[in-house]
Chain A
Amino acid sequence: MTFLRSFAIYLLTLFFMTLYWLALALPVLFILCLPVVRRQHLLRVLLLGFGLLVVRVAWRPFFRVDFQDYSGGRREPGIVIVNHRAATDAFLISVLGLSMAQTVNGWPMRLPIIGWMAHLAGYLDITGWDYETLKNHAATVLSVGDMVASYPEGTRSEAPRMNPFHSGIFQVAKDLDIPVYMLCIAGNQFMPDRKFRFREFRDLKIHFLEQVSREEVRQCATAYVLKKKIFQRMEEELAEMDKELNDENPV
């Protein structure tokens, strides 16, 4: 059953990926001729469109996503901190409707088509770059009004609890004097698991929380204090979301 379930969703995702990027082949070729910063921004917009297509259309027969925005509409360029239970997170964050550069390990950018697009769109190589390079690339992303999305756990947790956060991206927020946002994704810990098998399909919840303003970021003595504050807030929210999911839809 796990194999059939996984096969079906991957097949449909592949179908929509082919359809989407074939339809946009000419615009992409045109965009590739533009200056780097403009090119990266426009490709991020196209990747956002692709993410929405996958989450809202391709995956609709398998599960639904309930998105709630508690941010009060604040959208100044900043860093979006996302908890990381499964590989689907990279697509699920598109429900925010914001063009973003995600921080990724090197390997996803070697995946055919989508990985190449991410690379060309200026996604940030969190493990391959030194701190200064990461900070400078983040500043470039923010300068065109886009967000940086980051998974400070570093790897997928495949569990309701979060792994400890790394401090690097919080230091970037402090150094660049920018706000931080929190995006909590609950329910997808086995969608897919670490071996990329969809062990279950269940509806998901995504909550976009109140902004941590640049003043609040400044007030944190160190990146450690900022990451601790954000970890605690997200941990509380995720516990609540998991409880709601289990009440609505017992496993």
Chain B
Amino acid sequence: MENLMNREEIIRVINSIFVERFELDESELTPEKNIVDDLQLDSLDLVDMIIGFQQKFGINLRDNQEIRNVRTLENVYDLFEKLVREHPEIVEKMK
């Protein structure tokens, strides 16, 4: 269990994807931010976001319904916290 990523680490990794792929400033990335309304990502950008998650976490999110329902960054952090809990191998792949 101690090998699992904690929430702070997940937030750091998720935020780094937004910084790298969308050149957003770290200070903009607060949990309550709505991905579409506040960060101005449209449907095409969401595809880029999911590709970024897939590459970083080494998982396939194509059939994941929950990723389609995320609205805020908080939702994204929650989802990946759950995914890491359910699939500990994700952390191994990231190492």
Contact = CB atoms under 8 A, between A and B. Distances in A.
Interface string A153-179: 000000000001111100100000000
A247 B45 CA distance: 39
B89 interface: no
Interface in A43-74: none
A146 to B, nearest CB: 24
A220 to B, nearest CB: 8
B68 interface: no
A224 interface: yes
B23 interface: yes
A231 to B, nearest CB: 9
B20 interface: yes
B22 A222 contact: yes
A224 B19 CA distance: 12
A: contact size bracket: 10 to 19
B84 interface: no
Contacts, number: 34
Contact of B44 (A164, A171, A221, A225): A171
A164 B40 contact: yes
A167 B21 CA distance: 14
A224 B41 contact: yes
Nearest to A154: B42
Nearest to B41: A224
B32 interface: no
B46 to A, nearest CB: 10
A183 B73 CA distance: 34
A217 to B, nearest CB: 14
B67 to A, nearest CB: 17
B92 interface: no
24 contacts: A131-B44, A164-B42, A165-B40, A166-B42, A167-B42, A167-B44, A168-B42, A171-B44, A221-B20, A221-B21, A221-B22, A221-B23, A222-B21, A222-B22, A223-B44, A223-B48, A224-B41, A224-B45, A224-B48, A225-B21, A225-B23, A228-B22, A228-B23, A228-B40
Interface of A: 131, 164-168, 171, 221-225, 228
What are the 5 closest A-B residue pairs judged by CB atoms, nearest first?
Answer: A167-B44, A224-B45, A222-B48, A224-B22, A164-B40
